[in-house]
Chain A
Amino acid sequence: MPTESPDPQPWPAQWLRGVLDLSVLAVIDRGETYGYRVATDLEALGLGVVKGGTLYPLLARLEEAGDVSTTWREGEAGPGRKWYATTPAGRERLRRDAARWRDFARLTSQLVTDPVDAGGPR
């Protein structure tokens, strides 16, 4: 029986846009990594396919903001490879924004899932 490949874009782009930088920072915080591996980790976690055209400018912004540090090393396939690791400032931002995200997600979940008396004028 043929297996169904997972949906490459399981979530609306609009949702992902708000949380992608935090998700990328969280993936990098798991251990030093590089661009393509960040993309495959995000996909494996169920966030869908993040294209290189979206991912690398985002990584550059994280680097510019001082949230990640980078190192160039020889790659396995020939070209150089840029490795990313979170900085103390990046970890602090992750901790702070993760707490805020939890509150935000809880509020919006309540708003959109809790039943209310609908239909009458307010």
Chain B
Amino acid sequence: MTERPAVPSPRGGGVPTSPVEAYCDDLLLALRMEDVSGARIGAVLAEVRDHLAESGEDPVEAFGSAREYAAAVGHGTAPGRTWSVLRSRAAEVVPGTALGAAAWWSATGARALLDGADAVLTEAHVLLPLLVGLAGPLLLDWAVERPRWWHLAAVAGAGAAALAVLHVVLGPLVRVPLPALAVLLAGLALVGVVVVLAARGADPVVDPLQDPRSARAVRHRDGRLVGALVAVPVLAGVALLVLVGALAG
């Protein structure tokens, strides 16, 4: 069987793109926003390309705008709209919250370890990452003009800001001293769990005629890339927090 590229229509830098490929690029993004799986996206793009290659029709004339067509495909394949939206929202909120908490706990533990003291966790170590994690999707929705559940994200963002201000002005309400090494290891373990889950959840766009072995290789490659993209900024963030804490102290 013929080996095919993982993403069927890479837009080459500086290379002029045909209207069909430009439409497929827009459709790919719109289908991702509809939480359509990579395998299904590959199949939809192949069908669109085949239809347009034979008919010679204008993509928008034949299929409607990329967003409209993605919505038609997404609605047709979602197992249950409400459940699907809830699940995709949770998939956006939980990893961000966990990573925020993990980075902060790791930094707090590392800083305390350097000082030879206990690490002190406060209510902000839990609430602030949660509120920021909830507010994060607001930015995403705004960026892609998909105003779903933005009210909740706005309330969470306002809550995070209010909590941060109160924390600075009044100091922590709850203080829990814990062994520094335990807090550091717990934070790093949580980073590891999120990185592994993100890597395993990599869902590349696969052409329907791609052979299974090369599709698996692409999935593993994308998994490693996603894992690195998650781990490197978080660990850099931890190092930065420790450095800032050391300089401030």
Contacts and interface: CB of A to CB of B under 8 A. Distances in A.
Interface of A: 34-36, 39, 51-53, 56-57, 60-61, 64, 72-75, 77-82
Contact of A82 (B8, B46, B64): B46
Contacts of A39: 55
Contact of A35 (B51, B61, B207): B51
Given A53-B63, A72-B208, A77-B53, A35 B73 contact: no
Chain B interface category by residue count: 20 to 34
Nearest to B61: A51
A53 B72 contact: yes
B50 to A, nearest CB: 5
Given A34-B50, A52-B63, A82-B43, A72 B209 contact: yes
Nearest to B72: A57
Interface in B32-91: 43-44, 46-55, 57, 61-64, 68-69, 72-73, 76-77
Contacts of B209: 72-74, 80
Contacts of B53: 75, 77-79
24 contacts: A34-B50, A35-B47, A36-B51, A36-B55, A51-B64, A52-B51, A52-B52, A52-B55, A52-B62, A56-B44, A56-B63, A57-B72, A60-B76, A64-B76, A64-B77, A72-B43, A72-B209, A74-B2, A75-B50, A75-B53, A77-B54, A78-B53, A79-B8, A80-B209
Contacts of A78: 49, 53
Given A57-B76, A74-B2, A79 B50 contact: yes
A51 B46 contact: no
Given A35-B47, A52-B52, A80-B209, 19 more contacts: A34-B50, A35-B51, A52-B48, A52-B63, A53-B62, A53-B63, A53-B69, A56-B44, A56-B48, A56-B51, A60-B76, A60-B77, A72-B46, A73-B209, A77-B54, A78-B53, A79-B46, A80-B46, A80-B208
Nearest to A81: B50
Given A52-B57, A80-B208, A35 B50 contact: yes
A121 B8 CA distance: 67
Contacts of B44: 56
A75 B72 CA distance: 25
Contacts of A77: 50, 53-54
Nearest to A52: B62
A36 B54 contact: yes
A14 B247 CA distance: 71
Contacts of B72: 53, 57
